[in-house]
C-alpha cells in the first residue's frame, strides 16, 4: 500500500507520540519509507549528540533508510528548549514540504508536540550569557535570593511562584531582565501560529511497556550506555544541564563513582525509566489532542489502521 509522496507540500504534518519503548520511532520510519517522508525529532534528549544509546535515538541503519532531522544536533553542554526546538522543527517541516516530502514529527516530549500544534507565546530569545549569569547567581546565593530578585522586578510573577520552584523563577527572571517585560505579559499575547497536525498516539498496556523497558535498559548497557554517560558527565559538568538530567545518566554516574554496582545501577535505571514512561502516558492521555490512539506497541499489524487513518484525514 502506498500514498503519493507529492502530497507533502499540502498534507498536514503527521505527528507520533507516546511513552518510551512504545515503538514510536519504528512507526515513524515505516511511514517515512512508505510515504516518502522526513522524520523530525520531537524528543528533548535525542537532540544531544553524546546520547544515541541512552536516548534510544535511531541508529545509523534507520537514518540511512529515511531522512532524519534534529537528532544529535546539540552538544550536551548546550541547553535545548521547547522554543528553540519549535523554530528548528518549523524550518525542517517547511524544507520537507518544499521537496514534496511528508513531514513526520515523532517523540516522547509531549509539550513539544502540544506547542507545535497550538503555538507558543512570542517570548524573545534570552541571551545565553544572561542565562548563565543567573544560574551562577543562584548557585552562589540560593533560591530565596533568586526569588527576591524576581519579586523586585515582577512582583505579580513572584507571587505566583514559590522560591522552591526555582526553574520557573529563573525563567521568569531571565525574561524580565532581557526584555523589560514580565513573562505573563508575553503569555497573554496571541501565540505563534499553530501547525495543523494529525497526531497518532501509541499507548501500549502497562505490562507490555514495562517488559519492553526492562529489555531496552539491559540492551542499552550492552550497547555502550556506560561510555555515553561518562561522555555526558565530561561534556556537561553543570548538573542542571538538560542532558545531565536524562534518565540513566544519574544512575550510571553513581556506578562510575563507585557508589553502587552495575546490577543495582541497572535496576535503578529500569525503575526510573518505568516512572518516566508512566508520567508520559498520563500526560498524553490527559493533555494531548490525539486523532488516533493505538492501545498497542508498534507492530506491522497496526499499519492497515494507520494507513486508513491517513487516507481518511489527509
Q: Which tens digit of pLDDT belongs to each residue from 16-52?
A: 999 999 999 999 999 999 999 999 999 999 999 999 9
Domain with CATH 1.10.20.140 in the chain: 128-187
- pLDDT score recorded for residue 289: 87
Sequence-ordered alpha helix ranges (H) in 180-314: 183-187, 206-223, 225-235, 249-256, 262-287, 303-313
Nearest to 314 by CA among 2, 26, 8, 41: 8
Interatomic CA distance for residues 252 and 264, integer angstroms = 10
Cα–Cα distance, 57 to 63 (Å, whole number)? 10
Residue 2's pLDDT is what? 38
Q: Can you tell me the distance from the alpha carbon of 221 to that of 23, in angstroms, rounded to the nearest whole number?
A: 19
| Domain covering 5-120+192-313: architecture | 3-Layer(aba) Sandwich (3.40)
Angle CA(99)–CA(101)–CA(199) in degrees, nearest 5? Answer: 140
Q: Helices in 36-182 by DSSP H: which ranges?
A: 60-65, 82-98, 110-118, 128-141, 143-153, 155-160, 166-179
Q: With 90 as the cut, is the pLDDT of residue 313 above it?
A: no
Contact status, residue 67 vs residue 39, Cβ threshold 8 Å: yes
pLDDT tens track for 57-85: 999 999 999 999 999 999 999 999 999 99
pLDDT score for 124:
86
Per-residue pLDDT for 4 more than 50? no
pLDDT over threshold 80, residue 314: no
How high is the pLDDT of residue 123? Answer: 87
Residue 292 corresponds to which cell in the numbers above?
Answer: 488516533
For the stretch 96-152, pLDDT in tens is: 999 999 999 999 999 999 999 999 888 888 898 998 899 999 999 999 999 999 999
| pLDDT tens track for 194-232 | 899 999 999 999 999 999 999 999 999 999 999 999 999
Cα angle for residues 262, 58, 8 (degrees, 5° grid): 160
* H or E element in which residue 200 lies: strand 197-202
Q: Identify the pLDDT of residue 11.
A: 62
Whether the CB-CB separation of 280 and 18 falls below 8 Å is answered with yes
Question: Which segments of the chain belong to CATH 3.40.50.300?
Answer: 5-120+192-313
* Contact yes or no for 48/74 (Cβ under 8 A): yes
Q: Given 3.30.70.100, 3.40.640.10, 3.40.50.10860, 1.10.20.140, which CATH number is that of 128-187?
A: 1.10.20.140
- In the three-class reduction of DSSP (H, G, I as helix; E, B as strand; rest coil), residue 201 is classed as strand
Q: Torsions phi, psi of 13, nearest 5? A: -65, 135
Other C-beta atoms closer than 10 Å to the C-beta of 184 total 15
3-state SS of 20-63? CCCCHHHHHHHHHHHHCEEEEECCCCCCECCCCCCCCCCCHHHH
Cell of 254: 553513581
The pLDDT, as a whole number, for residue 217 is: 97
Read off the pTM.
Answer: 0.87
Amino acid at each position: 500500500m502506498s500514498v503519493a509522496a507529492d502530497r507533502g507540500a499540502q498534507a498536514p504534518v503527521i505527528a507520533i507520540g507516546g511513552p518510551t519503548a512504545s515503538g514510536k520511532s519504528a512507526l515513524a520510519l515505516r511511514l517515512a519509507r512508505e510515504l516518502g517522508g522526513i522524520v523530525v525529532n520531537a524528543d528533548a534528549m535525542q537532540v544531544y549528540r553524546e546520547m544515541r544509546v541512552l536516548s534510544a535515538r535511531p541508529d545509523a541503519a534507520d537514518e540511512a533508510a529515511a531522512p532524519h532531522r534534529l537528532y544529535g544536533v546539540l552538544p550536551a553542554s548546550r541547553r535545548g528548549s521547547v522554543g528553540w526546538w519549535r523554530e528548528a522543527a518549523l524550518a525542517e517541516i517547511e524544507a520537507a514540504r518544499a521537496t514534496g516530502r511528508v513531514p513526520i514529527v515523532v517523540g516522547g516530549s509531549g509539550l513539544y508536540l502540544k506547542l507545535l500544534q497550538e503555538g507558543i507565546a512570542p517570548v524573545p530569545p534570552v541571551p545565553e550569557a544572561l542565562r548563565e549569569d543567573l544560574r551562577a547567581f543562584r548557585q552562589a546565593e540560593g533560591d530565596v535570593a533568586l526569588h527576591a530578585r524576581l519579586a523586585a522586578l515582577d512582583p505579580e510573577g513572584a507571587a505566583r511562584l514559590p522560591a522552591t520552584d526555582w526553574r520557573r523563577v529563573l525563567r521568569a527572571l531571565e525574561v524580565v531582565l532581557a526584555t523589560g517585560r514580565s513573562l505573563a505579559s508575553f503569555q497573554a499575547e496571541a501565540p505563534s501560529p499553530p501547525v495543523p497536525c494529525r497526531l497518532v498516539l501509541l499507548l501500549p498496556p502497562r505490562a507490555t511497556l514495562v517488559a519492553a523497558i526492562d529489555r531496552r535498559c539491559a540492551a542499552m548497557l550492552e550497547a555502550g550506555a556506560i561510555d555515553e554517560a561518562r561522555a555526558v558527565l565530561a561534556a556537561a559538568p553543570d548538573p542542571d544541564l538538560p542532558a545531565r538530567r536524562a534518565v540513566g545518566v544519574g544512575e550510571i554516574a553513581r556506578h562510575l563513582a563507585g557508589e553502587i554496582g552495575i546490577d543495582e545501577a541497572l535496576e535503578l535505571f529500569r525503575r526510573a525509566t518505568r516512572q518516566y514512561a508512566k508520567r508520559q502516558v498520563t500526560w498524553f492521555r490527559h493533555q494531548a489532542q490525539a486523532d488516533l490512539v493505538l492501545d498497542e506497541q508498534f507492530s506491522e499489524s497496526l499499519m492497515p489502521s494507520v494507513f486508513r487513518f491517513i487516507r481518511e484525514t489527509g
